[in-house]
A and B are shown apart, each in its own frame.
Chain A
Amino acid sequence: MGRHEALWTGDTGLARERTDLSWGRTLLSVMTVTALFLRWLPQFGGDVLVPVILGIAAGLGLVRLRHGRRAEVFVGHGDAAHEVIGLTALVLIVGLAGLVLIVIPI
């Protein structure tokens, strides 16, 4: 048994499960926040759909990225640089869209 496999021997798998759940909760939060933008649909029209669609698409993209990384975690590579930076960029874009929609009426 290699060192990588030995690491997970006797492990309950709960840490990985908590991490998966954590990602799920976070992506649901992203989608919920972007869905709030729909309130401005009557005021700004279809432009509001851009951050909503972006949030949902990026959320699904991150789920796919996470799925691909599961196997890497099993062989000892724990870092999630792509996912972390991608999620941060997504949150910043959603925030920027929020700022624009708040400032436009001024």
Chain B
Amino acid sequence: MSVPPSFEDESFEDGRAGRFERRVLGPGREPDPRYSLANERTFLAWIRTSLTLLGGGVAIEAFAGDAFGVVARRGLALGLVCLGMVLAAVSCYRWVSLERAMRQGRPLPLNPVGLALAAGVAIAAAFLAVSIAVRG
């Protein structure tokens, strides 16, 4: 696992002067902004994934109608929305932990979220398939 470079210039230390940033990001040197931008884009990709799950959950409840049973429809919708919300919170946590690791020159932490997402989507798809099969 690679460690992104940090600047040795003292003016980069602590990054932005705001108390909020110091509190969220902790101590360390401001990393190369290009790495921060890459971290930001990764966070945005995860957030879009979580928004897709939210949108899917809302769309199932709003548009599925009587395509399958009420319990299955609501269960699936609630499951997808909850999974989307958890993913949004975890992606924010991951952005903070990556930013902190870069600022302190530590190796970047592993990402277990992908596995949880794959498991969640697989369970939702299986649930949907069973619901359609039972109804059909």
A22 and B45 in contact (CB under 8 A), knowing A78-B32, A79-B21? yes
CB proximity to A under 8 Å, residues B23-51: 24-25, 30-38, 40-41, 43-45, 47-48, 50-51
A91 and B31 in contact (CB under 8 A), knowing A18-B41, A36-B59, A36-B62? no
Residues of B within 8 A of A22 (CB): 40-41, 44-45
A39 and B40 in contact (CB under 8 A), knowing A3-B11, A33-B58, A95-B81? no
Contact of A23 among B9, B21, B35, B44 (CB under 8 A): B44
Q: Is A1 an interface residue (CB 8 A)?
A: no
CA separation between A102 and B41, bound complex, in Å?
Answer: 31
Chain A 35-46, CB within 8 Å of chain B: the 1/0 string? 011011000000
The answer to whether A99 touches B82 (Cβ under 8 A) is yes
Q: Is A15 an interface residue (CB 8 A)?
A: yes
Q: Which residues of B contact A (CB under 8 A)?
A: 7, 9, 11-12, 15-16, 20-21, 24-25, 30-38, 40-41, 43-45, 47-48, 50-52, 54-55, 57-59, 61-63, 74, 77-78, 81-82, 84-85, 88-89, 91-92, 95-96, 99
Residues of A within 8 A of B20 (CB): 81-82
Interface of B is mostly: helix
Interface of A is mostly: helix
Q: Is A96 an interface residue (CB 8 A)?
A: yes
Contact of B48 among A29, A88, A92 (CB under 8 A): A29
The answer to whether A76 touches B88 (Cβ under 8 A) is no
CA separation between A16 and B40, bound complex, in Å?
Answer: 11
Q: Which residues of A contact B (CB under 8 A)?
A: 3-4, 7, 11, 15-16, 18-19, 22-23, 25-26, 29-30, 32-33, 36-37, 39-40, 72-73, 76-82, 84-85, 87-88, 91-92, 94-96, 98-99, 101-103, 106
The answer to whether A98 touches B54 (Cβ under 8 A) is yes
Residues of B within 8 A of A32 (CB): 55
A99 and B81 in contact (CB under 8 A), knowing A40-B62, A76-B12, A78-B34? yes
